[in-house]
Amino acid sequence: MDIQEKPITENGGKGDNHETKTIDKEENVAEHLEKNPLHINVTNHQPVERQDSLPISPGPLSPDPVHDLPVELLQAGWRRFWSKREQQPYFFNKLTNESLWEMPQLKSGHGSPNLLTDPLGIGGDHPAPVPSSTDTRLCRPSTDIPPPHVGEKRRLSGDVGDSSPKKPFTYSPFWNFEIPTNAVIYERSPCILPPPHPEMESLRAQLTAKLRQHYQELCHSREGIDAPHESFNRWLLERKVIDKGTDPMLPSNCMPEVSQSMYREIMNDIPVKLVKPKFSGDVRRQLFKYAEAAKKMIETRSATPDSRKIVKWNVEETFSWLRRPGGAAYDDYLERLAHLKRQCQPHLTETAKSSVEGICTKVYNMCLETVKKLHERHWQIMNENNIQEIPKAPVPPKRKVLCYPVQMIVPVPRLPIIEMTNENEVHTLKFKGESLRINSPHFFKLEQLYKIHARDDPRFDHYLARVWCLLRRYHTLFGIQASEGFGLQGALSIQILECLHRIFGVTFECFASPLNSYFKQYCSAFTDTDGYFGSRGPVLDFHPLSGSFEANPPFCEELMESMVDHFENLLTESHEPLSFIVFIPEWRDPPIEALIRLESSRFKRKQVTLPAYDHEYRQGFQHFCPKEEVNMKSAHGTLVIFLQNDAGFARWGPTPERLKELLLASKPKDTV
C-alpha cells in the first residue's frame, strides 16, 4: 500500500533542540533576529510579551528590571528571569551559562577570582568554587545534572542530557505514547473554529450553568418533577450527533428540535420518579405515590374521557388492594406497581405529550440564544486582535496519510496569564479567581501530549492557558452537581488496553479525551480544545481507511446507534485491514437498539462478555480524584464485539487464544 507520509514531525515540528537562549538586552536585537529568524506571520497580530521574561519586581528598581540585581552580580554576568514552567525566578550567568534557582553569592575579599579572565575560578591561589549543598540546579529533583560547560545554553526544565534517558516522573505512567498509529486516512481540511480562550470558556461555563438551571425549573414548574439525573448531558451528546452548527459543545442547528433522548427521560419520571426499592415497605410507598400522582395528573390536565376513566378505575382498584389487612410480600407489591404502570402510563404520556415537547423545544431555543452570545463575544475578542473569521476551510489534495491531529488555522490571539501552584501532587490553575485542580501525573501527561502535538507553540507560551481551557470545557460538560458526569469519561483499564495493543494491534481510541487517553492518537468530543493535545476530532467525523481501533462509547443510546452505523459504513467502503473492538454495556432489560444491531451486524466476527464485578473501569474523574479511587469494578456486564472486514479479520481475528488473553487481562488485580 502506497502511503505518503504527512510532512509533520511526530514531536510537533520542534526537532531535537528544545533549548531556549536568553538574549541580553545589550545585544543587537536586529543582528540576533538575522542569525535566528523566527517564522512569525505578523499580519493581523499584535506583539505579545513572553510570560517567562517578565520582571520579578512589580515596579522596576532600575532602568531595566531584568538587571534588577546588585552591581557586583551584574558585573559578574548574572541576570534574573522568571521560569514559567516552575513558577519561580531563576538566575542566569551570561558569561558561564550557569543557571541557579537561588541568588548567587559572590566571594568577599581582595583576591576574589575575576569571572571575565578566570570564569572557572581555577587561576592563581584560589581553588575552584565548590557549589553549596543548598544550591538547586535547573532540573527535576530526580535527575542528576552534568556540570555546566562554557558555551552551552540554558536547557528547559527536564532536558538535561541527550545520551541518558529522561526520568521526569516518580510514578508508573498510565499511558504509552511510544506506540505509533496504524490508522490511515485521506488528508483532511483544517479546522476553522476560533482557538480556545480562557475568557470564553469561563463565559461558556456560566451560560451553560444557567441553561441547566432553566431546564430544572421547566421540569419542576410544568411537570412537578426534578430534571432527570444527567439527562442534560445525554441531551448534549444526542444533539451533537445530528448538529450542524459551529459551536464545539452546544447544539445550534438540529432537526427535529424535539430531542427524543430528553423527551423519553422526562416521560419516564412522569407522574413520579420511581427507583429500585430495597424493601417491601419501599415498594408499598412507591405504589401509593404513583397512584396518587396519576390520579391528580389525570384530573388536572386536559385528557380524553376514556383516558380519565381508565386511569381513575385502576387507581381506585390499587387503593382498595392497599387497604386490605395483612399486607403483601415484596414481589406482590412489585407486580402490582408494574401492572398499574402498564395500565396508566400510555394515557398519562398522551396527556403530557404537548407539555414535555414544549420543555424540549424551550431548552433548544434557549441554547440557540446562548450559542449566539458565545459566537459574538468570541469573534469580538478575535477582532480586537486583528484576526478575521475564515469563511471556508481549504480543501487538501486527496492522498493517503497516517492519521494526524486536528489542524487549527485561525491565528491565536494574545492569551491571558494563568497562575499555577503545585502542592501535594496536585496542580492548581487559576484564572480571574476561578481555580481548577488536576493531579500532577495528569498535568505531566498533558505536557507530553502538548510537546508532541502543539507545533504552533514550541516554547510553551500558551500551554497553561490551553490546559485551563481544556479543564474548564470538560468541567462544563460534566455538570454543576457533585456527581454529574461521572460516567462520561470512564475508560478501560490499563491491562485491557495493553492487551488490545499487543494481541489485536490496537493503536487508537475512538472515544477518549486528553485526560483519559492511553494512546497519543484518539478521537474526542471537542476539536478546538483537544486538538493541541493530539485529538483527531469527534469519531463520527473521522473516516479511517485501515487500522485497528477500540471503541468504548459514553452511555447515550443515540450516540451508540450512530456509532454502529458509522463503523458499518467504514467497513463496507474499505478493502484494507480495518477492525473495531466495541465495548458496550450489556443492557438487556429491555435490550437497547445499539446492542441488537451490533449482535446482528454482518461484520461481527465474535463476541464475549465480561461479567459484572469481574472487570474494572477507570472512573471519569481520574484526573482529580485520589489515586486509590481511580479503578472501580463495573456493576454491569460488558459486551465485547469484534467488527472486522475480511482483511481485518485475517490480520487481527479473535482466535480462541487471543480471547483467552483478553479475558485474563480484564480481571481486576485483586482477583488475578
Range scoring the smallest mean pLDDT among 250-264, 315-329, 464-478: 315-329
Q: What is the total count of domains within the chain? A: 2
Q: Global pTM?
A: 0.74
Task: Quick: pLDDT tens for 256-291.
Answer: 999 999 999 999 999 999 988 889 999 999 999 999
Give the pLDDT score at 625: 87
- Name the strand (E) or helix (H) holding 288: helix 280-300
| For residues 345-362, average pLDDT | 95
Closest by Cα among 564, 565, 545 to 639:
564
Query: Are 195 and 325 members of one domain?
Result: yes
Give the pLDDT score at 628: 85
For 149, the grid coordinates are: 560547560
Task: Quick: pLDDT tens for 520-543.
Answer: 999 999 999 999 999 999 999 999
8 A C-beta contact, residue 625 and residue 499 = no
Give the pLDDT score at 66: 64
Tell me the residue length of the chain. 672
Kindly state whether residue 435 falls inside one of the protein's structural domains. Answer: no
Average predicted confidence (pLDDT) for the chain: 83
Query: Are 361 and 260 members of one domain?
Result: yes
Closest by Cα among 471, 475, 476, 470 to 529:
470
Of 346, 363, 397, the residue at which a domain comes to its end is 397
Kindly state whether residue 175 falls inside one of the protein's structural domains. Answer: no
Domain that holds residue 212: 181-397
Quick check: 112 pLDDT over 70?
no
Give the pLDDT score at 671: 56
Of 365, 397, 429, the residue at which a domain comes to its end is 397
* Cα(446)–Cα(322) distance, integer angstroms: 59
Of 360, 379, 397, the residue at which a domain comes to its end is 397
Kindly state whether residue 227 falls inside one of the protein's structural domains. Answer: yes
* Cα(511)–Cα(487) distance, integer angstroms: 13
Give the pLDDT score at 527: 95
* Cα(616)–Cα(610) distance, integer angstroms: 10
Kindly state whether residue 428 falls inside one of the protein's structural domains. Answer: no
Would you give the DSSP letter of residue 146?
P
Would you give the DSSP letter of residue 191?
B
- Quickly state the pLDDT bin for 129 (edges 50, 70, 90): very low
Give the pLDDT score at 479: 86
For residue 569, count other CB atoms closer than 10 A to its CB. Answer: 11
For 450, the grid coordinates are: 502538548
* Cα(338)–Cα(464) distance, integer angstroms: 54
Kindly state whether residue 270 falls inside one of the protein's structural domains. Answer: yes
> Could you tell me where the beta strands, DSSP code E, fall in 362-456?
400-402, 419-423, 426-431, 434-439
- Quickly state the pLDDT bin for 162 (edges 50, 70, 90): very low
Give the pLDDT score at 414: 93
* Cα(325)–Cα(318) distance, integer angstroms: 14
Higher-confidence position of 484 and 404: 404
| For residues 109-129, average pLDDT | 48
Query: Are 500 and 386 members of one domain?
Result: no
8 A C-beta contact, residue 651 and residue 489 = no
Instruction: Write the CATH number for 601.
Output: 3.40.50
Higher-confidence position of 89 and 249: 249
Task: Quick: pLDDT tens for 5-36.
Answer: 444 433 444 434 333 333 343 344 344 434 44
Kindly state whether residue 106 falls inside one of the protein's structural domains. Answer: no
Kindly state whether residue 647 falls inside one of the protein's structural domains. Answer: yes
Task: Quick: pLDDT tens for 197-233.
Answer: 999 999 999 999 999 999 999 999 999 999 998 899 9
For residue 658, count other CB atoms closer than 10 A to its CB. Answer: 18
Quick check: 355 pLDDT over 90?
yes
Quick check: 153 pLDDT over 70?
no
Query: Are 500 and 391 members of one domain?
Result: no
Tell me how far CA of residue 395 lies from CA of 186, 187, 374, 391, 633, in angstroms. Answer: 11, 9, 27, 13, 46
- Coil, strand, or helix at residue 282? helix
Kindly state whether residue 6 falls inside one of the protein's structural domains. Answer: no
Range scoring the smallest mean pLDDT among 31-35, 399-403, 498-502: 31-35
Quick check: 122 pLDDT over 70?
no
Quick check: 340 pLDDT over 70?
yes
* Cα(453)–Cα(455) distance, integer angstroms: 6
Query: Are 503 and 392 members of one domain?
Result: no
Range scoring the smallest mean pLDDT among 118-127, 543-552, 604-613: 118-127
